[in-house]
Amino acid sequence: MRKLIGKELAEAIRTQTAAEVAAGPRPRLAVVVATGDEASLWYVRSIAKAAAGVGIAADIVDLGPAARPEQIRESLVRLSADTGVHGLMLQTPLPPGASAQELAGAIDPRKDVDGASPLSLGRLAAGLPAFVPATAAAVMALLDHHGVELAGRRAVVVGRSAVVGKPLAHLLLDRHATVTVCHSRTRDLASVTATADVLVAAVGRAGLIGAGHVAPGAVVVDVGTNPTGDGGLTGDVDAAAVSARAGALTPVPGGVGPVTTALLLRHTARAANLP
C-alpha cells in the first residue's frame, strides 16, 4: 500500500506562498474563533504559526465559546469592511444556536479564503472562479501530487458538509470523475463505498471506514481529524484494517491536514493580490 503523505507538498506550497508574499505588502488573515474545542484551537494555533513562517500576519479574534451569533456576525461584518484584512475565516465548531452556513454569508467573498460563503460554494457549483474550502482543495492537491488519475474513475465521498463533502463532489466532477456522495442516511454504506476507485472519508467519526468498505487497490483519502483520548489524532479510516486492502492511503496525521493549512495561506496571499 502506498502512503500518500502531505508533508512535502505542504512545504512546497508554503515555500511558493512565501515567495508570492515577499513580492508585495504583507497579507493579513483574520480568524474568528468562538469555541473551546481543543482540536479546533490546535488548528488555529497551527495556522498562526504557519502564517508567521511565510510572512502573513494572522489575527486571532477569539470571542470565546459563549459568543452570541449576533456578536460573531458583527465581527465578520467589521473585518469584511476592514481594508487592512485580506483573508477572513470563521473557525468551526460554533456555539449552540450559531449556524456557520448562515454566518458565513457575512464574509466578503473576496476575503473568503476558506470558501465558506454561500456565494463561493455557488460559484464553485456553477464552474466559476471562487475560493475553495482549504480542506477540499487539499484533497485535490494531494491526489494530484501523488499522480492519482480521476478522469473516468468512480469517486465516492462519504460526508456532505458544506466545507468538505459538497465542494469536493464538485471538484471531482470538474475533473471528470463519476461521483457519488454518501451520508448518514445512506443504506448499506459499505456496498456503495466498495465501488470506489477513489474513496474520500470526511465525516468526523473515528474508524468509520473499515476493510469491508474498501475495494482492493482503491485510493483512500482520510479527511477525518478526530482527537484520541491521549491527545493524539485519528482519522475516519481504520488505517490498520484498510492498509492491507487499499492501493494507497493518506495517513492521519501527516496527510490532508498539513496541506489544508498551507493552502489556506496560499489563498490568503492570493486574496491580498486580487485586483
Ligand X SMILES: Nc1nc(=O)c2c([nH]1)NC[C@@H]1CN(c3ccc(C(=O)N[C@@H](CCC(=O)O)C(=O)O)cc3)C=[N+]21
> To the nearest whole angstrom, how small is the minimum distance from the Cβ of residue 124 to ligand X?
15
**46 in a known ligand binding site:** no
Q: Which of 261, 263, 265, 271 binds ligand X (CB under 6 A)?
A: 261
Find the distance separating the first CA and the last CA of the chain, reported in whole Å: 45
CB 165 within 8 A of CB 184: no
C-alpha cell at 121: 460554494
Ramachandran sector of residue 94 (left: φ over 0; alpha: ψ -120 to 50; beta: rest): beta
Using CB under 6 A as the binding rule, the residues of this chain from 186 to 245 that contact ligand X are 225, 233
DSSP for 32-46, please give it. EE----HHHHHHHHH
Nearer to ligand X, 143 or 215 (CB): 143
260 touches ligand X (CB under 6 A): yes
Count the helix, strand and coil residues of the chain and give each as a percent rounded to the nearest 5: 45, 15, 40
Q: Which of 69, 204, 207, 254 binds ligand X (CB under 6 A)?
A: 254
Nearer to ligand X, 72 or 116 (CB): 116
Nearer to ligand X, 33 or 179 (CB): 33
Nearer to ligand X, 95 or 212 (CB): 95
Measured between alpha carbons, how far is 53 from 116 in angstroms, rounded to an integer?
25
Using CB under 6 A as the binding rule, the residues of this chain from 109 to 138 that contact ligand X are 114, 116, 134-135
Interface segment toward ligand X; rule CB under 6 A; list 89-97, 144-152, 180-188, 204-212: 89-97
250 touches ligand X (CB under 6 A): no
Other CB atoms within a 10 A radius of the CB of residue 245 amount to 18
Amino acid letter, residue 112: D
Q: Which of 252, 263, 265, 272 binds ligand X (CB under 6 A)?
A: 252
Interface segment toward ligand X; rule CB under 6 A; list 13-21, 53-61, 241-249, 256-264: 256-264
Measured between alpha carbons, how far is 87 from 107 in angstroms, rounded to an integer?
10
Site string for ligand X, 28-47 (x = CB under 6 A): ------------x-xx--x-
> To the nearest whole angstrom, how small is the minimum distance from the Cβ of residue 79 to ligand X?
14
Measured between alpha carbons, how far is 265 from 17 in angstroms, rounded to an integer?
7
CB 164 within 8 A of CB 119: no
Q: Which of 46, 16, 115 is nearest to 258 (CA)?
A: 46
CB 100 within 8 A of CB 94: yes
Write out the residues near ligand X by the rule CB under 6 A. Answer: 40, 42-43, 46, 89-92, 114, 116, 134-135, 163, 225, 233, 252-254, 257-258, 260-261
Q: Which residues line the annotated binding site for NADP(+)?
A: 159-161, 225
